[in-house]
A and B are shown apart, each in its own frame.
Chain A
């Protein structure tokens, strides 16, 4: 008797920080997402693979992607569909905007309560913030156990999941009761490629807002009424409920005070003597730029 599991993968569309330009930040200190290529956060891909392997092993299991972002973040849900997921939810609402990790985890945990999975799998961290906070914070908000730094989900049954963790200087194998949240490390198996059949099937899957976008006019020949699986769900604050003050900027205890571009003056070699004045000014410059603490 094999069990069927319902798994939600948390995925984030992130600016590709490996290709950051000068206009990456707005003067207000927030991320200028429009100026950067958007990609599927790499460790969320590792997480997706772990979830899909459970689906392979236990047919009938369902995998859904949950993401939060602007309308165009629906792209990560399509990427999931192309690789074998069963659907996804895009949390999109101006009221979610300006969220730090705490407000983000609140929104996600509210959506999870509605989706009611057996397990959440997420990337350890996103490359735009590198905080690794949202996973543990979602687990806390749900009152679920968390297993971080997973390299492999080794086994799962009705009662518990067995996970190999990758630590700084070794490994740990743990079991956790279900439901639980697992964050997956970059050393986990890479995600499978897109499946050609799924790409054909879901190429024109879209959210209601994508359908309304004038740029997409004429793109969608087949209506969602005819093929309901082409509809990607969008949820707003009204769909997930909860405390309005806990969302977005208002629900974020941390604020960005200042953002500095670190551009060192000397790119061609700057020659200094060993004089006290030269050494003091060099050390002072390194400290001012926080290169030394």
Chain B
């Protein structure tokens, strides 16, 4: 414990002296979030300085081994860093799927060569990654994917199409699932996990517009794209195992963001009076409507219970207990809470929230309409709610196929 306190003090000194004070309070500011890559988006210059400083110390991926750009810290030590960063309300030094998805996956399954080639560049924010799983005909039934990779010498030739690629048009590399054995008896056995440089000839990326307007999603087309065989992660035809491990990471990430609009306080210190929905209702003159009031109370209670359940899972883990079944419902329930929140905010605002553009609508009104539309996708992306219910029924409740 004393070691962690000393570490906290050291980190605090660095953050206070060497990281620009202009970044304090900007933890939630998108312009302060560095995604990195070959064609990086514009961010505050101080954020780039923070990235450089953090990368040098191994702080962008503190639990990764030092030879791959990490600090070789324990989970507890990494939490100390998170805590100190949160204390000053600083943005994380680097964000992206390299850190959260492909990085941990390469550490688990990647060859030494792939780890040395990719992990350091991830930690320095030099390369931005995207995910290539879903296809137009392979959504919930991902295993039926048809993008093929045919061996030719020491390369694979990739043909097909991926869809729902988040930030595909801003990314440099893609980790993708390809079919290497179309004759496999079970469709899962015949899938390979492959890393592809999107700058390779034959790759075309097109953004997808959603019912809520512009989105980060893209379609990615592959026409005779040549990929070195050494870019296979794990074994050929054994990519499904790698993919499942990575899907688990993705679902936890979505769930933790969805629950209660990102609020992270401990419920004991929960400031009930700052209920955002109630404040909006008062502002809109809807606070006296008994039906709206009941819906607000119900949603607020449900959000509280969800936070408490997330905390219960964390407290159990911290006490060394085996993970309980409660975490299997986080993605399902967290996304539904967000949808209900958007529906309720729409209901509270009334017809003012119907605006798409033009005079007479406030920026908040216009944003509300888009947020509500976008929220309809939460129960679909990252594993539909129906799939989540299937998973709970099978894996937690043991109900038969």
- Chain B binds chain A: no
Identify the B interface with A (CB < 8 A): none
